[in-house]
Amino acid sequence: MKRYLFCLFIFYTTVSFAQNANYVKENYTKIDTTIIMRDGIKLYTIIYVPKDSSQRYPILMQRTPYSVWPYGSSNYPPGIMPGKMQEEKYIYVKQDVRGRHMSEGINEEVTPYIPNKKTNKDVDESSDTYDTIEWLLKFLQNDNGRVGLWGISYPGFYATASLPGAHPAIKAVSPQAPVTDEFAGDDVNHNGAFFLLDNFSFMEGYDRPRQGPTYVYKVPLFTPTNYSDAYKFFLDMKTIKESNGPKYFNGKGKYWPEYLANDTYNNYWRSRNIRQYLKNITIPTLVVGGWFDAEDLFGALHTYEAIEKQSPSNKNFLVMGPWTHGAWGAADWKEFGTHQFGANVNQYFQDSIEAAFFKYYLKDKGNFKLSEATMFETGTNQWRHFDQWPPANINAMSFYLGPNNKLLHNKPIAAKSFSEYISDPAKPVPYTNGIYSDRNNEYMIEDQRFAATRPDVLVFQSDTLTEDMTIAGAIIADLFVSITGTDADFIVKLIDVLPENEKDINKQPGTTMAGMQRLVRAEVMRGKFRNDLSKPIPFVPGKVAEIKFTLNDALHTFKKGHRVMIQVQSSWFPLVDRNPQKFLRIPEAKETDYQKATIRIHHDATNSSNIILPVMK
Amino acid sequence: MYSHPTYDEWWKARNARNAMYNIKPAMLVVGGLFDAEDCYGAWNLYKAIEKQNPGIHNKLVMGPWSHGQWSGRDGTRMGNIQFGSNTSLWYQNNIEIPFFNFYLKGKGTDPNLSEATIFFSGENQWHNLNQWPPANTSNQPIYFQPNGVLSWNKPTVSKSASEYISDPAHPVPYTEDVHFDRTAAYMNDDQRFATRRTDVLSFQTDVLSEDLTLAGPVVADLAVSITGTDADFVVKIIDVFPDDFSYPGSAAQQGRAGGGSYPMGGYQMLVRGEIMRGKFRNSFETPAPFTPNKIEKVKFALPDVAHTFKKGHRLMIQIQSSWFPLADRNPQKFVNIYEADITDFKKATIRIHHDAANSSNIVLPVMK
């Protein structure tokens, strides 16, 4: 619940609405209505029509599961859109999606797309968007016949979902941090590892039941939690099974039991992977994401990639900035944690990219000469423009893990060499330093020295770089491991080690810059899924197995004088639930199934664990 | 210093207590409960003078202070812990100034200081006591049990131990975060960063149903076995705050990055920590190696404590074998550490036994 409210709070407080609190009321007429879908279900929809009727306007629509608030024709919000967008004037439409808040019907988790619809009962987000647009075009008096869709996070998914089987009036779509594949890399699981902290706190609110349409979900499923230390709370929970027991969801929610029931990449998740349907798209798309987005970084990168590969001639743009989840909607974004960007990167994005995109494709106004990929380079803190992503001039360079904490350019030659640690589920490695109730939003750029001091975290570090090294694209971890259990998690962290003379920029705890081990990118692989997310297989204790997986893209410069560091660990708690280190269905694991294991990372001539970085030439 | 790795004549000649005979001046010994440097000194200088000069004017004042904090203006807090009043100004106005005024200027009346004016953290109250440690204390052992339990009952099982691997390449930090200098606040810092580590053992009581006040020295009485020939033993006395604890008027709890005050719910406040270098367990003069895997006693006193564990809190004891870089690393091999090579530093398994015969315990000075 906390996070659910938190998201709404952030949106309505940080989005840069116009200075005048009455701006919306003075400039738009608000219409609350319901629109009937092909199967008879009514969706609650709010339409903001510009009062200036001297011209025709395109429709810009957002569909959301988080409420179109405020309800009632006489209740106006402080703003509709960030930045200059609402001054630009569109007919803004917001709709509660099927089964959420004031709309009828049943909500499905990331509604599966139905490619071959046979009857009026075959409905999905594409058909609901289609039916809504049909109705709007008939109802509205001064529209220009064009529709754009946008949304951040879950609404980003609904924007993507309008693309297959799109209504012909849709002329521009901007999926932003779109929820895309919740088993492979977004929100719920990354490579099959369950993101416990975020999902439990989110679903505590989101999975509340309703008896038909409602403004707010008042009735909790269980006594609301009130913990200040998430690490302790989830450790005390002992098992995932207990989360679905009498104290918590108790099998009564909809989504939570579905998450636990679907612990492999089965049809439930496959049918929800919208990427497979992004074929032959002919609608210009602006895909937006944040390098520090803890929820849908994967979604932004892979929605762009899926459209690019499967609709190669489409006008498909990618923008990746130095943002947390949805931070590009804030009025101001000059710094984040110990990163300082030198300028308000949001103004550039909102005015020169987002507003310009919709204006051009929906109003035929202005010039829109955006590069294929507009990417913020961390480390040097500058926007860079590419004509393809990842860029062509890349050299995939292996960095080998070696003995004595070394990260080496040369493949090891020793016949036998490994580093090892004991991974104890009773004392999992924290994902962040300090005490937090909700996920620490800065964990993706946090100083990893708190982890490096632990005996259950391996550290491999390069020599000091003699020249700048820029990486652009996906990072591949190629580990050769042996374990004493039959399953284990592997977390690989790519870290930029700042020089010992780096100056502090502030004096907050945890921000000492000299020697800081600043996280650039990290990812988890649940070992049993190493070969196939659909088919988990156990490890043979003591036998070397290869674990090869991809970390999300980065565009980062390791500057001269810095070092490259890799850390490897087998827990990341409570961001990710604990692996019992025994091959079984983790949602069914008992407390006694969680066992200590010794984890070896091999670095010999045959089993040469390495990290492949996309180094720009 | 490097040429005197044991408690030899060089160190003994420098033990100021040896000279505390025939003291004539009125004495006022002052120290801080959370003084990282000379907490031991204040308690033990007072005790030496008292023992060696019966009947003289020798008074003790201990407040909830870091090193010298009593001479500053703000004695309302140290680190994250609040004391409910300005303890340093109170000390200056009510003890220090009247003491010197009377004895040096003949001004005012005899302040009639209590023998011991001691601030008890936890309950945040000054106590005026007529002896230290107070008469109404009794030494009560509290025992380690399996599964991290701390209990007044002696274990009855025939074989039971908790263990960890102590790796000198990954010593347990003495404090969270990155600091260049030793922090003052480590003496009452939140120990949750240590609890989460695989090389720290934690034992805790149930939630206390009534206040528990400790007044005096704490004795750690450990039964250990190790795979090396030397090891350090750090014992930490911790006050575990209730999960819903917050100081009045503090901002909403949301971590440090959230800009709120430090999250005090579930805080693990270090009340007292002390280290014993294992080879000195029987004698500071004559270090002795351990026999690997043989159970041996490591018994030592921690500096005095004046603290109330409030009803609703828990008492926790943590054991670890490094406290870095506050204390240098023990190679875990019996050598002159000042001469140790990098290759002498070895991982070792440390076992703390808690069975009927080998009942590791902490003797607490419980005040009635």
- Mean pLDDT over A347-368 rounds to 95
* B2 lies in some domain: no
Asked if residue B245 lies in contact with residue B267, where contact means CB atoms within 8 angstroms, the answer is yes
Q: Which two tokens stand for residue B275?
A: 């280290």
pLDDT at A16 over 90: no
Facing A512 at nearest CB: one of B170, B178, B196: B178
d(CA B129, CA B59): 10
The string of DSSP codes covering A9-49 is HHHHHHB---SSTTHHHHHEEEEEEEEE-TTS-EEEEEEEE
Domain match, A352 and A409 both: no
Can you give the pLDDT at residue B207?
Answer: 98
d(CA B79, CA B57): 34
Domain match, B185 and B277 both: yes
What is the domain-level CATH number for residue B314? 2.60.120.260
pLDDT at A21 over 50: yes
Maximal CA-CA distance, chain B: 66
Asked if residue B113 lies in contact with residue B46, where contact means CB atoms within 8 angstroms, the answer is no
- Residues in chain B within 8 Å Cβ distance of A569: none
* A364 lies in some domain: yes
Domain match, A322 and A449 both: no
- Considering only residues 149 to 168 of chain B, which have any Cβ-Cβ distance to chain A shorter than 8 Å? 165, 167
d(CA A519, CA A366): 40
* A312 lies in some domain: yes
CA distances from A470 to A388, A483, A521, A554, A556 (A): 16, 34, 14, 10, 6
Facing A231 at nearest CB: one of B165, B196, B258: B196
Domain match, B309 and B206 both: yes
pLDDT at A7 over 90: no
Q: For helices A196-206 and A2-14, give the axis angle rounded to 10 degrees.
A: 80
* A480 lies in some domain: yes
* A48 lies in some domain: yes
Sign of CA dihedral B221, B223, B224, B230: positive
Q: Looking at B129, B161, B189, which one is the last position of a domain?
A: B129
d(CA A526, CA A169): 43
Domain match, B287 and B357 both: yes
The number of residues in chain A equals: 617
pLDDT at A502 over 70: yes
Domain match, A148 and A284 both: yes
pLDDT at A493 over 90: yes
Asked if residue B124 lies in contact with residue B83, where contact means CB atoms within 8 angstroms, the answer is yes
* A186 lies in some domain: no
**A70-86 in b/e burial notation, b at 16+ Cβ within 10 A?**
eeeeeebbbbbbbbbbb
d(CA B78, CA B69): 9
Facing B257 at nearest CB: one of A430, A442, A515: A442
Residue A143 phi, psi (nearest 5):
-85, 160
Domain match, B161 and B119 both: no
* B274 lies in some domain: yes
Q: Looking at B129, B149, B182, which one is the last position of a domain?
A: B129
Beta bridge partners of A567: A459, A493
Asked if residue A34 lies in contact with residue A43, where contact means CB atoms within 8 angstroms, the answer is yes
* B3 lies in some domain: no
Can you give the pLDDT at residue A587?
Answer: 98
pLDDT at A14 over 50: no
The string of DSSP codes covering A410-470 is SPP--SS-EEEEEE-TTSPPBSSSS--SS--TTGGG-BTHHHHTSTTEEEEEPPPPSS-EE
Residue B64 phi, psi (nearest 5):
-85, 60
Q: How many helices (H) and strands (E) does chain B have?
A: 5, 17
Domain match, A312 and A435 both: no
What is the domain-level CATH number for residue A422? 2.60.120.260
d(CA B108, CA B131): 25
Domain match, B156 and B299 both: yes
pLDDT at A377 over 50: yes
Interface contact flag, A435 B192, Cβ < 8 Å:
yes
How many domains is chain A partitioned into structurally?
A: 3
pLDDT at B362 over 80: yes
- Residues in chain B within 8 Å Cβ distance of A229: 192, 243, 263, 265-266
Asked if residue A114 lies in contact with residue A271, where contact means CB atoms within 8 angstroms, the answer is no
* B273 lies in some domain: yes
What is the domain-level CATH number for residue B29? 3.40.50.1820
Can you give the pLDDT at residue A9?
Answer: 40
* A187 lies in some domain: no
Can you give the pLDDT at residue A87?
Answer: 82
Asked if residue A333 lies in contact with residue A345, where contact means CB atoms within 8 angstroms, the answer is yes
pLDDT at A4 over 60: no
* B91 lies in some domain: yes
- Residues in chain B within 8 Å Cβ distance of A598: none
Domain match, A220 and A236 both: yes
Can you give the pLDDT at residue A506?
Answer: 77
- Mean pLDDT over B211-228 rounds to 98
pLDDT in tens, A415-462: 999 999 999 999 999 999 999 999 999 999 999 999 999 999 999 999
DSSP 8-state code for residue A82: S
Query: Chain A residue closest to B268 (CA)?
Result: A435
- Mean pLDDT over A170-192 rounds to 98
Asked if residue A450 lies in contact with residue A493, where contact means CB atoms within 8 angstroms, the answer is no
By mean pLDDT, which of A500-509, B56-65, B229-238, B278-287 is the weakest?
A500-509
Domain match, A44 and A15 both: yes
User: Which of B55, B346, B64 minimizes the C-alpha distance to B188?
Assistant: B64
pLDDT at B260 over 90: no
> Which pLDDT band, with edges at 50, 70 and 90, does B252 fall under?
low
Average pLDDT value over all residues in chain B:
95
Interface contact flag, B197 A449, Cβ < 8 Å:
no
Domain match, B160 and B123 both: no
- Mean pLDDT over B179-197 rounds to 96
Sign of CA dihedral A485, A488, A492, A497: negative
- Mean pLDDT over B320-334 rounds to 98
* A277 lies in some domain: yes
pLDDT at A180 over 50: yes
Interface contact flag, B198 A232, Cβ < 8 Å:
no
- Residues in chain A within 8 Å Cβ distance of B180: 512
Domain match, B208 and B229 both: yes
Domain match, A24 and A36 both: yes
- Mean pLDDT over B320-347 rounds to 97
Domain match, B62 and B183 both: no
Domain match, B16 and B61 both: yes
* B1 lies in some domain: no
- Considering only residues 456 to 515 of chain A, which have any Cβ-Cβ distance to chain B shorter than 8 Å? 456, 508-510, 512, 515
* A128 lies in some domain: yes
> Which pLDDT band, with edges at 50, 70 and 90, does A86 fall under?
confident
Domain match, A206 and A232 both: yes
By the CB < 8 Å criterion, does A440 face chain B? yes
Domain match, A203 and A312 both: no
User: Which of A614, A615, A604 minimizes the C-alpha distance to A400?
Assistant: A604
Can you give the pLDDT at residue A17?
Answer: 52
Can you give the pLDDT at residue B321?
Answer: 98
Asked if residue A11 lies in contact with residue A58, where contact means CB atoms within 8 angstroms, the answer is no
Q: Looking at B129, B146, B164, which one is the last position of a domain?
A: B129
Asked if residue A302 lies in contact with residue A308, where contact means CB atoms within 8 angstroms, the answer is no
CA distances from B239 to A396, B184, B199, B209, B313 (A): 53, 18, 20, 14, 7
pLDDT in tens, A266-311: 999 999 999 999 999 999 999 999 999 999 999 999 999 999 999 9
Tell me, rounded to whole angstroms, the distance of Cα A375 from its chain centroid.
17
d(CA B94, CA B106): 16
d(CA A414, CA B286): 44
How many domains is chain B partitioned into structurally?
A: 2
Domain match, B118 and B22 both: yes
pLDDT at B248 over 90: no
Residue A205 phi, psi (nearest 5):
-100, -45
pLDDT at A153 over 90: yes
Domain match, B164 and B120 both: no
By mean pLDDT, which of A320-324, A613-617, B45-49, B248-252 is the weakest?
B248-252
pLDDT at B116 over 50: yes
Can you give the pLDDT at residue B261?
Answer: 78
User: Which of A235, A225, A247 minimizes the C-alpha distance to A578?
Assistant: A235
- Mean pLDDT over B357-362 rounds to 98
The H or E element spanning position B202 is strand B200-204
Domain match, A246 and A332 both: no
Interface contact flag, B177 A512, Cβ < 8 Å:
yes
> Which pLDDT band, with edges at 50, 70 and 90, does A511 fall under?
confident
> Which pLDDT band, with edges at 50, 70 and 90, does B251 fall under?
low
- First vs last C-alpha separation in chain B: 43
Interface contact flag, B178 A229, Cβ < 8 Å:
no
Domain match, A119 and A171 both: yes
Residue bearing the bigger pLDDT, B250 or A222: A222
* B4 lies in some domain: no
Residue B141 domain boundaries: 137-367
Tell me, rounded to whole angstroms, the distance of Cα A607 from its chain centroid.
33
pLDDT in tens, B79-97: 999 999 999 999 999 999 9
pLDDT at A3 over 70: no
Interface contact flag, B257 A455, Cβ < 8 Å:
no
What is the domain-level CATH number for residue A135? 3.40.50.1820
Domain match, B167 and B233 both: yes
Average pLDDT value over all residues in chain A:
95
- Residues in chain A within 8 Å Cβ distance of B165: 422, 455
Single pTM value for the model = 0.95
Residue A409 domain boundaries: 394-616
Domain match, A402 and A531 both: yes
d(CA A464, CA A450): 21
